[in-house]
Amino acid sequence: MYVVATAGHVDHGKSTLVQRLTGMWPDRLAEEQRRGLTIDLGFAWTAIEGREIAFVDVPGHERFVGNMLAGVGPVPAVLFVVAATEGWMPQSEEHVAALRALGVGHTLVVISKADLADPTPALAQCREQFPGAPVVLGTDLDQVRRSLVALVDGLPAPDSDADVRLWVDRSFTVRGSGTVVTGTLAAGRISVGDELDHDGRTVSVRGLQSLGRDQPSVAAVARVAVNLRGVDRDAIRRGDTLCTPGAWLPTGEVDVALREQGKLQQRLVLHLGSAAVPVHVRPLGETGARLRLARPLPLRVGDVGLLRDPGEHRIAAGVQVLDVRPAPLRRRGEARARAAEIATGRVAPPVCERADTLRAMGFAASGDRIGDWVVAPGWWAQRRRDAVSAVERWVADHDIAAGMPEETLRRQAGLPAPQLVPPLLDGTGLTVRDGLVQRPGTDLPPRVDAAVRAVTEWLASDPFRAPEAAELAALGLGPKEIGAAVRAGRLARIADGVVLGPDVHARAAEVLAALPQPFTVAEAKRALDTTRRVAVPLLEQLDARCITRRAGDGTRRLV
């Protein structure tokens, strides 16, 4: 299917031309039929030389330009109508300005009412306004049909595998079916049973129609009516979207390049798709702007819309989205730097982002793949250098620490997620263990090493006579130093302030094996030639390691 919108000044015969081509009168509202004036969007369709063509007929009156833009926004081609009786008129000018701002380049111009006035002036005006576009007389309906076929045959092929974003242009209730919405499906495919996202809630597709016929599945480009389950008619309206879940990032702020620019004001309305959203405009140089939207929209890089001043009935600028998640502009010079970047016509994608998020933003996943993440190679290499330097500084400032906390390193290296730390350290010699980043072969600083050697010599002749707290303090071994020695495997902590050699458990088992089984604490204390301060916690550790087993009467035996 192909979808074509109409455009042109009020009463120039757009609806009549659609009716002559399709046999269907597009005006559906009673007021439209009573007044003979298109107020809202109308729809009709026909087949021409095997091509199914659906028409979105839009109003031409200046009071209903918002409705016109809702119809044209998602549509790739336009049938522009100019009456020979009046020629180029104010709404002809506004409509063509809108088409230029939206970047609609596929246009067929029809001179209507050519049997009522000399069409020559209107032909000349249209050729001036649409250089290169075909211009035909509406009195020759066969030529109009041939030109329509040529128009749709020149349209780019849609991507039926793309993520769905259906801009809603109508919402109503059908008795016995519930909520139904309509729109132009520009890309992707919708099938009965699909689950789609609407404003953060999941809705399911109960039924589908296209061109008045029930369909199990509809692929772009197409006019489609979607019967929804899970949303009331009053909760979904024109300008809303139905999207592939998780594939879009609703955004309330975007950076845009300005096209077909006129006079910018601080407060305008952004028309994109079928949406019309008030925005606050912050100019960024002469070719860009940051837009703060009154409500979030699911936008992507490359989306095209326009800014309009509804009070003055004028198009302020065409816009192309360059960034849907722009960084704050807080520091001096950041706005100027951003303006210079926008002036190039593109902005760089994030240097580190999840691949699915890049897709949702509209950026290609170019860079190095690190798990679910995509990183810029130069940025990643700099982060690795920064990480090594950060660990070196940490070790210098915390010489007895077991390692730098992984979260501290993540923050200092500027990584957005903890899972990026281990791959960042690949090839650096640094490792992550128990949440700590460590250097290989990390040893004790000289002052602690000397103290531990003194304790080791102390224990050589009396392996179970632990130094007293005062003796450890005299050697400069406080809790942190002892902790470092234990982590390095140079000492074993038996209790707070009680340390022995690293092989104490095996040596104790050898001594206790010579005792009659079972044995008491007193017997173990005598055999080990130590104090109760050492014997009791040492036996408890032997129990915990299943070297000994304690009986209900307090005696123990070797396992």
Domain of 523: which CATH number?
1.10.10.10
Please report, in angstroms and rounded to a whole number, the separation of the first and last CA atoms in the chain: 82
Pair (47, 189) in one structural domain: no
Residue-number span of the structural domain to which 33 is assigned: 2-153
- What percentage of the chain has pLDDT greater than the value 70? 94
pLDDT at 533: 93
Token digits of residue 72: 């044209």
Instruction: Indicate the number of domains in the chain.
Output: 5
Region 144-164: mean pLDDT is 94
Token digits of residue 431: 């490792």
Pair (194, 125) in one structural domain: no
Region 7-17: mean pLDDT is 88
Pair (125, 54) in one structural domain: yes
Beta-bridge partner residues of 498: 495
In a domain, 130, yes or no: yes
pLDDT at 35: 47
Angle (nearest 5°) at CA 170 between 166 and 173: 115
Q: How confident is the model at residue 372 (pLDDT cuts 50, 70, 90)?
A: very high
Give the domain CATH number at 219. 2.40.30.10
Tens digits of residue pLDDT in 474-485: 988 888 888 878
Pair (334, 363) in one structural domain: no
Token digits of residue 336: 């100027």
In a domain, 160, yes or no: no
Domain stops at, among 324, 347, 370:
347
Residue type (1 letter), 408: T
- CA dihedral (406, 412, 417, 419) in degrees, to 10, reads -40
Give the domain CATH number at 132. 3.40.50.300
Token digits of residue 511: 């001594």
Tens digits of residue pLDDT in 505-543: 999 999 999 999 999 999 999 999 999 999 999 999 999
Identify the helix (H) or strand (E) that includes residue 16. Answer: helix 14-22
Region 470-495: mean pLDDT is 86
Contacts of 507 (CB under 8 A, 6+ apart): 463, 464, 501
pLDDT at 281 > cutoff 60: yes
Cβ 195 vs Cβ 231: under 8 Å: no
Classified as helix, coil or strand, 350 is: coil
pLDDT at 32: 41
Domain stops at, among 421, 442, 463:
442
Pair (52, 145) in one structural domain: yes
Pair (214, 266) in one structural domain: no
Pair (50, 99) in one structural domain: yes
Q: How confident is the model at residue 198 (pLDDT cuts 50, 70, 90)?
A: very high
CA 393 to chain CA centroid, Å, is: 36
- Distance (Å, whole) CA 478 – CA 4: 82
Compute the mean pLDDT over every residue in the chain, rounded to the nearest whole number.
89
According to DSSP H, which parts of 39-197 are helical? Answer: 65-72, 90-102, 120-129, 141-153
Pair (336, 356) in one structural domain: no
Pair (213, 303) in one structural domain: no
In a domain, 159, yes or no: no
Pair (145, 207) in one structural domain: no
In a domain, 28, yes or no: yes
Q: How confident is the model at residue 403 (pLDDT cuts 50, 70, 90)?
A: confident
CB atoms within 10 A of CB 263: 10
Token digits of residue 559: 């396992």
Pair (143, 172) in one structural domain: no
pLDDT at 209 > cutoff 70: yes
Rounded to the nearest 5°, which phi and psi values hold at 353?
-160, 155
pLDDT at 37: 44
Pair (324, 362) in one structural domain: no
